[in-house]
Amino acid sequence: MKKNDEVMLIIDDLGTNGEGIGHIDGYALFVKGALPGEKVRVRLMKLNKNYGFARLLEIIEPSPERRMPFCEAFGKCGGCTLQHLSYEGQLAFKDKKVRDCLSRIGAIDLDKVEWLPIIGCTDEQSQLPLAYRNKAQFPVRQDKDGNPVIGFFAGRSHQLIPVSSCGIQHPRINAVVEDVLHFMKKYHMTAYNEESHTGLVRHIYVRRGYHTGQIMLCVVINGRKIPHEEEFIQHFSKMEDMTSLYLNVNCEKTNVILGKKMRLLWGQETIEDRIGGIGFRISPQSFYQVNPQQTEKLYACAAEFADLKGNETVWDLYCGIGTISLYLAKKMDAQKGGRVIGVEIVPEAIENAKENARRNAISNAEFYCGAAEDVAEKLPQSADVVVVDPPRKGCDAKLLDTIVTMKPERVVYVSCDPATLARDVKILEEKGYRMVKGRACDMFPQGGHVETVCLLTRKAQ
Ligand code: SAH
């Protein structure tokens, strides 16, 4: 086999990013856009020692799971990489991805674990979950005619693929973004240019409360202010659902979206949403789950795994605005000493968490700001149950040490990256815990990411 050869291939698997994988005499070829069960014609592109990449030329026998992608940017944008796969197929793929990680990286024997079916997000009308996201951060650039456009960066590149709207966003979010582009055109506001580090508007950031409909708009600029600020405020504050208008100043040469300086132009500092009957105020800097319908199911699963009697002390590490903390605290009995201690590194999120506890009259939750790996060992009370929900890089080794030394009965691990989850579960297994239950949850329909909840209990000594 050599580069540029055309070959026939049967696809037998999907890679972690949703690429088809086929084998020729045991040699694996990755084919973007191809699905398991398909017979395809491909051109060999890059051949490494143990695996190679090929370009899809023709689908000779399509999979019955193949669907028409809904988005013009499919295959180019790094986002919804599974659009060409039926939703059932997406769920099966994600479930398998998590299980594979747990057994390969985590050395877990899944036959000895209660593995529950993945929590899907089935939209009864269309069978195709779309328009679910409550948050968008679109980069803005100038197109070749000088007009501001939004889009996505292709893969990990800096090349912007323009899109007119995004199918997984709530329609109001797309509409607000479009309106910002109109405003920019009307008032000749320039878009950012990364190469020359000139131009004003870098990102349009919009958030929407699912239950309240409240909208937060934040324009990220390479500069201190926008021209026609008055008109901007007047125009956007008129929208019925607009709740919060911000400018964010980011003059750095960086990929980080938000700069340090956040200026409220108009309205409330936070927008509000509800989960499990609890109201949450959310600052622009705070993390908040992006798929509100699935979030309820994810937290319900975490609570079920935590199996609280009501009198325990629970640590909720990486707690964000205190969503899981308050969700659990509300189910506990403060009179009997049941309480939750939340830890989070972003100060604004901790402020939100404290305010959220107060406003919901939840007295048995307290919050500490700092890195979980530093704060946990100094917390005022040890825990019977620990919940962790770290970012993709997983838990710090030092934190896992603190947890095993404290010997809580249960650890509920909520994860957005199966590989680091498996790594951490392995460490916990080696240090006295056993994984007893697990369940994946699809928070990101059409995309390759997947959320997982695992329960580990302390082995009898
Ligand atoms: N449980 C929350 C947040 C999960 S996202 C929810 O469901 O909404 C992970 C959170 O961990 C983010 O809020 C992030 O700011 C925070 N974080 C990242 N690194 C951290 C660290 N070292 N210590 C504590 N929190 C951290």
Confidence check: pLDDT of 126 > 60: no
Give pLDDT tens digits for 303-348.
Answer: 999 999 999 999 999 999 999 999 999 999 999 999 999 999 999 9
Give pLDDT tens digits for 289-307.
Answer: 999 999 999 999 999 999 9
Residue 321 CA to residue 283 CA, distance in Å, equals: 9
pLDDT of residue 460: 85
Give residue 43's Cα distance to chain centre.
34
Q: Determine whether the shortest distance from the Cβ of 312 to ligand 1 is under 6 A.
A: no
Ranking 54-58, 111-115, 161-165, 298-302 by mean pLDDT, the lowest is 161-165
In the predicted model, what is the mean pLDDT of residues 12-27?
93
Confidence grade of residue 75 (pLDDT, cut at 50, 70, 90): confident
pLDDT of residue 125: 57
pLDDT of residue 16: 85
Report which DSSP code applies to 460.
P
Q: Determine whether the shortest distance from the Cβ of 343 to ligand 1 is under 6 A.
A: yes
Long-range own/partner contacts, residues 421-425 (CB < 8 A, 24 or more apart): 421/98, 421/101, 421/102, 421/106, 421/394, 421/452, 421/454, 422/101, 422/102, 422/104, 422/105, 422/106, 422/108, 423/105, 423/106, 423/394, 424/394, 424/395, 424/400, 425/102, 425/106, 425/108, 425/454, 425/456
pLDDT of residue 445: 96
In the predicted model, what is the mean pLDDT of residues 396-413?
98
Task: Return the best residue to mutate from 282, 298, 345, 387 for the ligand 1 pocket (most ligand atoms within 8 A of CB).
Answer: 345
In the predicted model, what is the mean pLDDT of residues 50-59?
97
Residue 309 CA to residue 61 CA, distance in Å, equals: 54
Residue 237 CA to residue 243 CA, distance in Å, equals: 8
Q: Which regions of 276-432 does DSSP assign to beta strands (E)?
A: 278-282, 313-317, 339-344, 365-369, 385-388, 410-415
| Per-position DSSP letters for 105-164, written without gaps between them | TT---GGGSEEEEEE----TTTSS--S-BSEEEEEEEE-TTS-EEEEEEBTTSS-EEE-S
Confidence check: pLDDT of 416 > 90: yes
Task: Return the best residue to mutate from 295, 298, 318 for the ligand 1 pocket (most ligand atoms within 8 A of CB).
Answer: 318
Confidence grade of residue 78 (pLDDT, cut at 50, 70, 90): confident
The 3-state DSSP class for residue 292 equals: helix
Report which DSSP code applies to 370.
S
**Active-site residue set:** 416
pLDDT of residue 127: 58
In the predicted model, what is the mean pLDDT of residues 62-71?
96
Confidence grade of residue 158 (pLDDT, cut at 50, 70, 90): confident
In the predicted model, what is the mean pLDDT of residues 75-84?
89
Are 217 and 236 a contacting pair, CB within 8 Å?
yes
Q: Determine whether the shortest distance from the Cβ of 318 to ligand 1 is under 6 A.
A: yes
pTM for this one?
A: 0.96
In the predicted model, what is the mean pLDDT of residues 352-359?
98
Name the one residue in this structure whose structure tokens are 């240019």: 193
Alpha carbon separation from 150 to 126, 138, 165, 368 (Å, rounded): 27, 6, 8, 38
Confidence grade of residue 442 (pLDDT, cut at 50, 70, 90): very high
Please tell me the distance between residue 317's alpha carbon and the centre of ligand 1 in angstroms.
7
**Secondary structure element (H or E) that encloses residue 101, with its range:** helix 87-104
